[in-house]
Amino acid sequence: MFNALIRKLILIFTIGVFFNLDNNYLIAATLEEIKQRGKLIVAVKNNLRPLGFLNQENQLQGLEIDLARQLAKDILGDPQALILQPVSNQERLQTVIEGKVDLAIARVTINASRARLVNFSPYYYLDGTGIITNHPQIRALDQLSQSKMAILNRSSTIAVIRAELPQAQLIGVNSYQEALTLLEAEQVDAFAADNSILAGWVQQYPQYYQLPVRLSGEGLGVVMPKGLQYASLRSRVNQAIGRWKASGWLAKRLQYWGLP
């Protein structure tokens, strides 16, 4: 019986070893383990200007890429000691929960339901509903009171715009491309969506104007793993963001990337 128990324990241990070998980072790394590894692994977006996107040289850049490099510098002393892992919206939290990455900086809005699954840093950007237009006479919110406005179907932006502009006629669209088509055809006067998205739109299409408004507030935070063993990592990230805000470095990067 004793020998059978030993064989069973060996089998369990062997399965566990192979499981971890086939899934390199299934257990999230602690701060000390990240230092021993010498690389910080961060999930990011690669298709979302100006937060994280590929430039003409096929290199990742953007505000969130800057933040990831700055954290690598803070933790490891080298902004290049970094592995950037592009993820889809559906993968952003899961990669952290499963330990495939150390952190996610991928336009994740801080909210209570997500906070039950992961930890969040203080926000590094206060996103919220904004408006763009290609109408040369529209430069202020009150000029849109009787307008036709494109808005994504089933988005939280609908309630925000109805509260701010109750007389505006809302035209539902299913994609940003559909909104662009309506704007170009002059079938709507403006398009309402998140400021972080609209900032990238204006950079891609300079003929558009982004109104200097934030009609709601949703903070974007760094996604971090739960658990006492990650307390040092979370503290390091939180302190870094606090320093960036206090020194003005973060504000300069927001301005550089055209984020209102």
- Match domain 129-216 to its CATH number in 3.40.190.10, 3.40.50.2300, 3.40.50.2000, 1.10.8.640: 3.40.190.10
pTM of the model: 0.87
Residue 7 Cα distances to 2, 16, 18, 21, angstroms: 9, 14, 17, 21
Euclidean distance between CA atoms 127 and 125, whole angstroms? 6
Euclidean distance between CA atoms 50 and 46, whole angstroms? 10
The residues facing 48 across adjacent strands are 52
Chain segment 202-211, per-residue pLDDT in tens = 999 999 999 9
Residue 39 Cα distances to 76, 85, 103, 112, 163, angstroms: 8, 12, 12, 30, 47
- Match domain 23-126+220-256 to its CATH number in 3.40.50.150, 3.40.50.300, 3.40.190.10, 3.40.630.30: 3.40.190.10
| pLDDT reported for residue 26 | 53
> 23-126+220-256 with 129-216: one CATH topology?
yes
Percent above pLDDT 70 for the chain: 90
Euclidean distance between CA atoms 85 and 223, whole angstroms? 14
- On whether the CB atoms of residues 38 and 81 are closer than 8 A, the answer is yes
Q: Is the pLDDT of residue 9 over 70?
A: no
48 band by pLDDT with thresholds 50, 70 and 90: very high
**Hey, where are the domains in the chain?**
23-126+220-256, 129-216
Chain segment 96-151, per-residue pLDDT in tens = 999 999 999 999 999 999 999 999 999 999 999 999 999 999 999 999 999 999 99
Euclidean distance between CA atoms 216 and 214, whole angstroms? 6
Over residues 234-248, mean pLDDT: 98
Around Cβ 120, how many Cβ atoms within 10 Å?
Answer: 20
8 band by pLDDT with thresholds 50, 70 and 90: very low
